Amino acid sequence: MRARTAACTVLLALSAALTACGSSDSKADPAACKAAMEKQFKDAMAAGDKAKAQDRPDACVGVDDQTVKKYATEIMQKQLGDTLDKDSDTLDKDLKDLQTAQP
């Protein structure tokens, strides 16, 4: 449950990053931007409930808003998928542990 709360907090943080002005720039490095966003996301997840909204990473300056939104969506989808898979595995194990022996 805590992971879900942190994920929502991080989603808000990434959304805040999208409000920064961005324009296409020939010097922009989209790969560096995505890597910086992933690190920012990972750091926010580690902070859990204490995570704070953050600005757009410096590496994303010059990367267009549409690309930044795409990266934010990809990062969140991957994290939510990983979290749901982990929760599902834990639930399956817990249910298996609860099964009683058949007579």
What does the pLDDT look like over 74-86, one tens digit per residue? 998 888 877 777 7
Name the DSSP letter for residue 20: S
pTM > 0.75: yes or no: no
pLDDT tens, position by position, 30-62: 999 999 999 998 898 888 888 888 888 999 999
| pLDDT of the residue at 22 | 46
Task: Give me the residue spans of the domains in the chain.
Answer: 2-98
pLDDT at 20 over 50: no
| pLDDT of the residue at 67 | 94
Residue 60 buriedness (CB in 10 A; 0-12 / 13-18 / 19+): buried
